[in-house]
Amino acid sequence: MPNLNHINRQPPGGIAMPADVLAAPMQRATALSGLSRSGIYRAAAEGKIRLLKAGRTTLVDMGTVRSFLAALPTARIGTGKAA
């Protein structure tokens, strides 16, 4: 019998690693991604993040969130001092 312990692994604290999560309810998706609820809905309206319905629950497709985040530009952080 194969060892399937790696499939449901969770770190201390009980939150699965984002790469392991296929879809998440909105509250968990915001915590995992760092995006705000309105940011997720805005990206979904633009077709960049996919939302799913399971009964009354709205789930966020975390694969599309990962793709969305990977496509964002790199932040340019300066020293804040005039040259």
Q: Which helix (H) or strand (E) holds 53?
A: strand 51-54
Give the model's pLDDT for residue 7: 47
Give the model's pLDDT for residue 8: 47
Are residues 24 and 57 in contact, defined by beta-carbon separation less than 8 angstroms? no
Q: Is the pLDDT of residue 9 over 70?
A: no
Q: What is the mean pLDDT of residues 52-60?
A: 96
Give the model's pLDDT for residue 20: 81
Give the model's pLDDT for residue 3: 53
Give the model's pLDDT for residue 15: 54
Greater confidence, 35 or 80? 35
Chosen CATH of 19-71 out of 3.30.870, 1.10.10, 1.10.1740, 1.10.510: 1.10.10
